[in-house]
């Protein structure tokens, strides 16, 4: 009991509270601090971001806004995609669960001194998605019109994430405001299953699912926008919450203040 109380007191000391959701962490000992001025910064930053992903599996103490990282839950995604005569789709996913981010392996973490945006490359050995779908359109001239459950299983996915930030200060620390996240990806395989693709025609459903699995690259191209938006929605939500809670100083110890990077704001004329 005493040990539990001691840990609670210690956690309270490590988390500063300002107003409402302005709580932030002041001693993330599990993160490797790096200096952007050092020649080995990229290697150091890569280790630091890997440590962050690893910690997300267990949960970051005090960060209650992220309920679960693996699996991650999304309520709804709507996509209209028509990039060729062969592919014209309207897709809606709901009640989505994504498995696999807990096994993220960071390959490289770049931070650009000009604006402190990032380019992060990482792999997901396995990424699985399940949820409810509605789909209307065509893939390679196959007409599709169905509602049911969808299962996607991507093998060895490599993701390149481009992140835009804006620095701000809170409690004497510099923080990242993550404003945009864009991803590209490639994968080594994609297994899929769509139930009720043709409103109960089981024979046609099975043959189409087999066709998708035999021609997974074509399906991956057709669902590229769906997959990228799913990953972007997850990462933008997670990154916003993390970097509002953990000061950027603990990732880049020599990060400038907003005033140093952007210059002092000009006084408004009365």
17 pLDDT higher than 50: no
Please state the domain extents for the chain.
40-261
pLDDT on residue 148: 93
pLDDT on residue 224: 87
3 pLDDT higher than 50: no
Indicate the burial class of 260 (C-beta count within 10 angstroms; 0-12, 13-18, 19 or more): exposed
Q: Please check whether residue 178 is in contact with residue 148, taking contact to mean a CB–CB distance below 8 angstroms.
A: no
Statement: the pTM of the whole predicted model exceeds 0.85: no
What's the average model confidence in pLDDT over 246-266?
A: 90
Q: How confident is the model at residue 87 (pLDDT cuts 50, 70, 90)?
A: low
Backbone conformation region of residue 62, classed left if phi is above 0, alpha if psi is from -120 to 50, else beta: left
**% of the chain surpassing 70 pLDDT:** 87
157-196 tens-digit pLDDT: 999 999 999 999 999 999 999 999 999 999 999 999 999 9
Q: Please check whether residue 81 is in contact with residue 89, taking contact to mean a CB–CB distance below 8 angstroms.
A: yes
Q: What is the CATH number of domain 40-261?
A: 3.15.10.30
Backbone conformation region of residue 100, classed left if phi is above 0, alpha if psi is from -120 to 50, else beta: left
Number of other residues whose CB lies within 10 A of the CB of residue 12: 11
Q: What is the DSSP string of 189-252?
A: EEEEEETTTTTT-HHHHHHHHHHHHHTHHHHHHHTHHHHHHHHHHHHHHHHHHHHHHS-GGGTB
Q: How confident is the model at residue 89 (pLDDT cuts 50, 70, 90)?
A: confident
pLDDT on residue 82: 62
32-75 tens-digit pLDDT: 999 999 999 999 999 999 999 999 888 888 888 888 888 888 88
Q: How confident is the model at residue 198 (pLDDT cuts 50, 70, 90)?
A: confident
């Amino acid at each position: 009991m005493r040990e539990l109380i001691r840990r609670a007191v210690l956690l309270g000391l490590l988390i500063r509270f300002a107003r409402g959701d302005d709580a932030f962490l002041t001693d993330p000992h599990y993160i490797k601090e790096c200096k952007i001025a050092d020649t080995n910064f990229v290697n150091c930053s890569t280790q630091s971001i890997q440590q962050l992903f690893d910690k997300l599996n267990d949960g970051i103490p005090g960060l209650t806004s992220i309920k679960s990282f693996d699996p991650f839950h999304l309520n709804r995604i709507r996509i209209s995609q028509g990039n060729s005569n062969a592919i014209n789709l309207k897709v809606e996913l709901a009640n989505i669960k994504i498995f696999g981010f807990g096994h993220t392996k960071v390959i490289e973490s770049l931070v650009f001194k000009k604006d402190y945006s990032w380019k992060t490359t990482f792999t997901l050995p396995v990424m699985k998605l399940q949820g409810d779908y509605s789909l209307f359109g065509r893939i390679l001239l196959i007409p599709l019109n169905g509602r049911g459950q969808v299962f996607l299983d991507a093998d060895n996915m490599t993701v390149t994430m481009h992140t835009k930030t804006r620095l701000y200060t809170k409690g004497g620390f510099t923080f990242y405001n993550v404003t945009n996240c864009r991803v590209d990806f490639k994968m080594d395989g994609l297994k899929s299953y769509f139930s009720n693709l043709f409103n109960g025609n089981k024979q046609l459903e099975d043959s189409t699912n087999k066709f998708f699995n035999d021609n997974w690259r074509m399906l991956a191209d057709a669902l590229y926008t769906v997959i990228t938006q799913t990953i972007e929605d997850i990462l933008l939500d997670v990154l916003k919450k993390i970097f509002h809670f953990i000061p950027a100083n603990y990732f880049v110890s020599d990060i400038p203040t907003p005033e140093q990077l952007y210059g002092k704001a000009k006084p408004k004329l009365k």
